[in-house]
Structure formats: structure tokens, C-alpha cells
């Protein structure tokens, strides 16, 4: 399944704005009726476009879902980056990263439940948007570890990729929308307790 | 909901054996048809008892499910205890504990899928059997930490209950049947990588 991508497809600005309009309407529509229960026909009807016209811009329902996910994940990464930007140490960055991700996930669950459901499908079915997000988070964890190693806050013996992957695994049940729903009650206290454990594991 | 308990209810040996027979038949029956989809009437019919007769011995379907869970969890604890019994160090005990629990959970999932589903209901609805199992595991983690502190393998600064709780939280996605199903693919490699992280967090 290929996903149409604005950046690599030469299209005029009006095509852009039509894509945007479809995505906006779909975000609203899926948000109300749920992603899995809605067809492209339902969506087309609600926007007042023909199904064929929508298929001119998107290969599939998943392709529309991908754009919605990508947008939301970009928003979450923005929140994360501003949460850690002015942290005084790598340790504090790690804590804030975990907290910001848990809060963003809980927020999505409680305030955008239907979009949370799209995110859960994306995670379950390993959509490219979800996989890329995972990669981005692992890279960010690596960066924070490197920073802490350079400043002498963290140990340097463990291979960087192993340390980053292990930390990602500790965080995943509170990040992945498929799993977070089982951990919502304890997510914020768990993020604090597990951050401390992660930092103990990093201490020189 | 109260759960009938052999130890505190004075019953004759024949009552015991009838209880055992119901539990055995129910294990079989739920194992085939699933716990949530089966009623006590279905079960009674399959054993050839009246529904009223079964209710003489068990307050509810959950009460029967509880006995099945308790039996299975006792089996898992036996496996765990023999896995760690001859470990040469506290660190190795921690590794084996994590591995044995992950394997026992995966085994249940792949070979007793319908019983796994009962376990998932028990975990989701916080049945006493599931809660007690959790407590037992936390205690065991505490014991292993204490042992490692006494032998000088582990650090002694972190409050014992915090350290044990954090380690339990790291293991939980691979132990809890509600969550393990999302982590099956990676469970065995995750158990290894996360055991190493846990041990780094415990190092003096």
C-alpha cells in the first residue's frame, strides 16, 4: 500500500488544498464515527465529494488515516521537544520525555477518544507513521543518553543502541496506544517511578 | 462477590470431590468454549448437574473461574520457584524470574488460549486471584533484591519497596495476560534486554 505524499508528488496548490480539506473532514468524521467503522463512501458523502474523487487524492482509507496520524504524531513530537528543550540536565530530559509522552497519550485517550482509536489501529497494524514515530523516539532517547554520557551524568559501558532500546521498551507500555489503555490509571505514577529506575540504570 | 473457600467452610470430603469435579469440568468446558461466552447453565448441562446444584458449591461463574486461575497461577509460581532455586546469584535469579514468567505466559497463550482468556479477564477485572499473584511476585522481587543487597551485588540506597515496584512495572507488560498478547513477538528478547537494564539499575 503506497501512501501519497505531498512533498514528492508535483501537484498544484489547489490539489494541496483539496487534500487538506479531505484530511480535515476525515479527522472530524473519523473522530465522530470511528475509523474502523467508517468507509470512504461514508466519508465522501459527508464532505459532498464523490468516492472516485477522493480516490484521486488518496489510495485508501488507511492513506487518509496515515496523514491524520502523522499530523497528530508531529504535534506530540512538538510537545515533547518543547518539554525537554530547557531541561538543565540529560537526566531531567529523560524524565520530561517520559512524562510528556505519557501525558500526550492520556490526553489523546481522554479528549480525542476516536482519534486515539485510529492511533491504536496504526500501532497494532504497524502503519509507517507509527513505525517512524517509534524510530524517532528511539533516536531521541539515544541523543539524550549521548548527551548524558558526554556530560558525565551517565555510564558509557552499555552499547548505546542497547541502552536506548531497553529504555524505549520500558516506556512503550505508556506510549503505545494499544497498551496505554491498560495502564491509564497508573500511567503518571509509573512514569515517575520508571524514570527513576531508568536513571539508576544509566548512572556511572 | 464472595468466593467459596474450602479451608473455611466445614464440608465433607464428598463435597470436596464434587467441587473438584466441577472445577475440572469447568476448566475443560471454558477451555473449549471460552469463559465469557459460557454460562453456568451451559456448564451444568455439560457435566450433567443441575444449575442449582452447582450454585450449592460456587456463588458464581467467577468463583469457579477464580479456582481455575488460582490453580494455574500456583502452577506458574511452582515453575518460577524451580527456575530460580539453584541460581548462583541474585542477579541470575532476577533474570530467571523474568524469563520463566514470560515463558509461562507465552505458553499459556499458545497452548491454552481459552484459559489465557480467563486469565486476561481476571487481570482486567482485578480478581482476587490475579491481585494475590501480583502481590506474590512483588514479594519475590523484594526477596531477590534483599538477597543481592546482602551479598553486595546490588545497591542499597533506593527504598526496597520502590525498587521492587519499579522492577515489577518493567516486567508487567510481559506478565499480565492483558498486555502480553501485544508483546508476544518480542517477549523473549525484551525479557533479556530488560533484565540487563534492571540489573544495571541495581548495580551498586
B197/A166 CB distance under 8 A:
yes
Q: What is the mean pLDDT of the segment spanning A184-202?
A: 95
At A12 the pLDDT is 53
At B114 the pLDDT is 80
Q: What is the mean pLDDT of the segment spanning A132-137?
A: 94
**pLDDT tens digit sequence for A77-126:** 999 999 999 999 999 999 999 999 999 988 888 888 888 888 888 888 88
Confirm if B165 and B148 have CB atoms less than 8 A apart: no
User: In terms of CA atoms, which chain A residue is nearest residue B186?
Assistant: A169
At B111 the pLDDT is 82
| Closest Cβ–Cβ partner in B165, B172, B194 for A169 | B194
A193/B169 CB distance under 8 A:
yes
SS3 B36: coil
- As to burial, measured by CB atoms within 10 angstroms (0-12 exposed, 13-18 middle, 19+ buried), residue A170 is buried
At B27 the pLDDT is 87
At how many degrees (to 10) do helices B187-202 and B160-175 cross?
A: 170
Report the helix count and the strand count for chain B, using DSSP H and E.
10, 0
Q: How far is it, in rounded angstroms, from Cα A8 to Cα A11?
A: 9
At B7 the pLDDT is 47
Q: How far is it, in rounded angstroms, from Cα B145 to Cα B90?
A: 7
If you classify domain A70-202 with CATH, what class do you get? mainly alpha
SS3 B25: helix
The stretches of chain B forming alpha helices (DSSP H) are 13-33, 40-47, 51-57, 61-85, 90-111, 113-124, 128-150, 160-175, 177-183, 187-202
| Residues of B within an 8 Å Cβ radius of A | 124, 155, 158, 162-163, 165-167, 169-170, 172-173, 176, 178-179, 182-183, 186, 190, 193-194, 196-198, 200-202
Segments of chain B scoring below 50 in pLDDT: 1-8
If you classify domain B68-202 with CATH, what class do you get? mainly alpha
- The residue ranges of every structural domain in chain B are 11-58, 68-202
CATH number for the region A10-58 comes to: 1.10.10.60
pLDDT band at A181 (very low <50, low <70, confident <90, very high): confident
User: Superfamily for B11-58?
Assistant: Homeodomain-like (1.10.10.60)
Confirm if A129 and A72 have CB atoms less than 8 A apart: no
Q: How far is it, in rounded angstroms, from Cα B173 to Cα B170?
A: 7
Q: Which residues of A touch B176 (CB under 8 A)?
A: 182
Which of A121, A178, A197 should we substitute to test contact with B (largest number of B Cβ atoms within 10 Å)?
A: A197
Amino acid at each position: 500500500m503506497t501512501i501519497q505524499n505531498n512533498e514528492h508528488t508535483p501537484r498544484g496548490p489547489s490539489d494541496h488544498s483539496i487534500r487538506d480539506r479531505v484530511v480535515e473532514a476525515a479527522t472530524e468524521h473519523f473522530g465522530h464515527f470511528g475509523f474502523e467503522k467508517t468507509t470512504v463512501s461514508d466519508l465522501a458523502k459527508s464532505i459532498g465529494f464523490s468516492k472516485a474523487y477522493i480516490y484521486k487524492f488518496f489510495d485508501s482509507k488507511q492513506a487518509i488515516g496515515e496523514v491524520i496520524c502523522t499530523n497528530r504524531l508531529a504535534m506530540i513530537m512538538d510537545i515533547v521537544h518543547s518539554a525537554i528543550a530547557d531541561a538543565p540536565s540529560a537526566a531531567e530530559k529523560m524524565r520530561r520525555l517520559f512524562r510528556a509522552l505519557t501525558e500526550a497519550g492520556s490526553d489523546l485517550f481522554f479528549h480525542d477518544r476516536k482519534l486515539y482509536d485510529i492511533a491504536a489501529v496504526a500501532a497494532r497494524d504497524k502503519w509507517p507513521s507509527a513505525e517512524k514515530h517509534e524510530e524517532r523516539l528511539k533516536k531521541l532517547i539515544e541523543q539524550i543518553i549521548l548527551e548524558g554520557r558526554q556530560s558525565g551524568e551517565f555510564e558509557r559501558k552499555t552499547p548505546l543502541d542497547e541502552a536506548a532500546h531497553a529504555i524505549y521498551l520500558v516506556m512503550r507500555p505508556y506510549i503505545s496506544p494499544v497498551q496505554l489503555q491498560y495502564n491509564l490509571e497508573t500511567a503518571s505514577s509509573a512514569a515517575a517511578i520508571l524514570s527513576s529506575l531508568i536513571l539508576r540504570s544509566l548512572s556511572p
